Amino acid sequence: MSLLPKRLLDAACIKFGTFTLKSGLISPIYVDLRLLVSEPALLRDVARAMAEVASGLAFDRIAAIPYAGLPIGVAIALEMDRPLIYPRGEVKAHGTRKAIEGVYQEGEVALVVDDVITRGGSKLETIARLEAAGLEVRDVLVLVDREQGGLDDLASRGYRLHALFRLAEMVETLHFAGHITGTRHAEVMHYLRPDA
């Protein structure tokens, strides 16, 4: 697992510069895990590491959030031999008009899986759709917690966040191993902890 940050950097899944996040925040670092679909060996190893975390949780189905979370969720489902569902971003006006794709039963527990969490908004929207369909959600599993309020947003609503990496931990690992400069390291750490 400790090699994953360097492999994510090499695959351009971690980028440095100036980026506007979905939350509206401006960030000196961007984690683009949509690129994992082009790196099958890395995606497999990410899924294995996340499956280790998931193996300690009680759930009936994996509920992956499209788009970036869906290939990760599929890879975890294959690794664990567990069923997967996913909520649609929009319900189509044709076909089955299902809000959630896949097979599930009311009362089952869904483990929500996504790539990254910044704040909890998109995760809470997904949880609301799953719960409206009669599913129960206790836990959310992501590869990276950007440490910008997501943990607290979920906890305030009674959900537990599990992250393979915290963003500061990844940046520390990359800096300590000499993969990023001290300037990059300091910039990101000041961004994450401006009062430190």
Element of type H or E holding 182: helix 182-192
Q: Are 147 and 165 in contact (CB under 8 A)?
A: no
Q: Are 83 and 61 in contact (CB under 8 A)?
A: yes
Q: Are 140 and 162 in contact (CB under 8 A)?
A: yes
Cα 151 versus chain centre, distance? 12
Rounded Cα distance, 60 and 54, in Å: 11
Catalytic positions are 92, 94
Rounded Cα distance, 142 and 104, in Å: 22
DSSP-derived secondary structure for 41-74: HHHHHHHHHHHHHHTTS--SEEEEPTTTHHHHHH
Rounded Cα distance, 163 and 185, in Å: 21
Q: Are 108 and 135 in contact (CB under 8 A)?
A: yes
